A = this chain, B = another copy of it.
Amino acid sequence: MALKIVALVGGVGGAKLAHGLAQVLPPENLTVVVNTGDDFWHYGLRICPDFDTVMYTLGGVVDPVNGWGVREDTTAMLGALERFGESPWFRLGDQDLATHLLRTEGLHRGERLTAIMQRLTSALGIHSSILPMTDDEVSTIVDTVEYGKVGFQEYFVRHRWQPIVRSLIYDGIERAALTPEVTNAIACADAIMIGPSNPWLSIAPMLALPELRAALLARALPRVAISPIVGGKAIKGPAAKLMAELGYEVSAANVAEFYREFINGFIYDQVDINDRQPDVQHLLTNTVMYTDADRAQLARQALTWIESELL
């Protein structure tokens, strides 16, 4: 019998794991809970970068080169903004805009983010559940040496994650509520997986959400994280740079250490076989996902290991 999985994920890396799980699980057995700490308002639109990356990936329309955005998208709108003297620094592709418009319109109408995104994911033919971690607005603020406190997307996109990070604030997280959909998914889950996402930028906001953290810890079940650090480096993005800036030695074992309170299982890459072992049950395997088959392979291995060793 297939396990019921709740996967906690951020953007590109997490989307790949979600896509792997979607390939090997019946759709009703997979719920992907996505970080919304990166979400922001831009030109009056509500932008949910991580959610859209997961949705586009599972919907088969993602840009295969970037890993985010819509395949073969154009930027005519951005060009027209420049004609009005604007200097847009966040890429809003023309096709991508349809998502932002439908989401923003729904929010202004008073709909919940969860309900809006369920409608959009269904329309794209996605049968698994993709859920925002909360319907409430949470904003990751990055306190940097160079610019002081800046919004996440300013740090990440505008400044290309080059500023040195002193600390992270998940503004609004204390007041953010769990949704019935996420509550139910956790209540019915056989195991929780944490994607190979940035622990501080993508996963920590979810673990800092009080009701989500409590719901995850309330159940005795496998909680398995996959390391985004392989061979002392991040597969993509600022995970390794940020880890060092926050005072950690950059290693898979230290990612496991960061998650210690939450996980009882950890998967990391076989290239790190000679490193210090994490202080939790673990699986060493190939975790780098280049192809769709790699994603399915990692998902299958993880599920088999959870079933045989952790349940």
Contacts and interface: CB of A to CB of B under 8 A. Distances in A.
Interface of A: 43-45, 61, 70, 73-74, 76-81, 83-86, 93-99, 101-102, 104-105, 108, 120, 123-124
| Chain A interface, DSSP helix/strand/loop, else mixed | helix
A83 B73 CA distance: 14
Stoichiometry, copies per complex: 2
A97 B85 CA distance: 15
Given A83-B123, A84-B123, A124-B83, A77 B105 contact: no
A240 to B, nearest CB: 35
Most interface-central of A78, A85, A94, A99 (chain B CB within 10 A): A94
A102 B74 contact: no
Given A43-B102, A44-B105, A108-B44, A94 B80 contact: yes
Nearest to A45: B101
A191 B61 CA distance: 57
Given A76-B93, A84-B102, 11 more contacts: A43-B105, A70-B80, A76-B94, A76-B95, A80-B97, A81-B101, A84-B99, A84-B123, A85-B123, A86-B98, A94-B97
A87 to B, nearest CB: 12
A86 B74 contact: no
Given A44-B104, A94-B94, A108-B44, A99 B80 contact: yes
B80 A96 contact: yes
A73 B76 contact: yes
Contacts of A93: 76
Contact of A77 (B81, B84, B95): B95
Q: Nearest 9 CB-CB pairs, A to B?
A: A44-B105, A80-B98, A76-B94, A80-B95, A94-B94, A84-B123, A85-B123, A81-B98, A77-B97
A126 to B, nearest CB: 12
Contacts of A95: 76-77, 79-80
A303 B161 CA distance: 60
A84 B98 contact: yes
Contacts of A74: 74, 76, 94
A81 B95 CA distance: 8
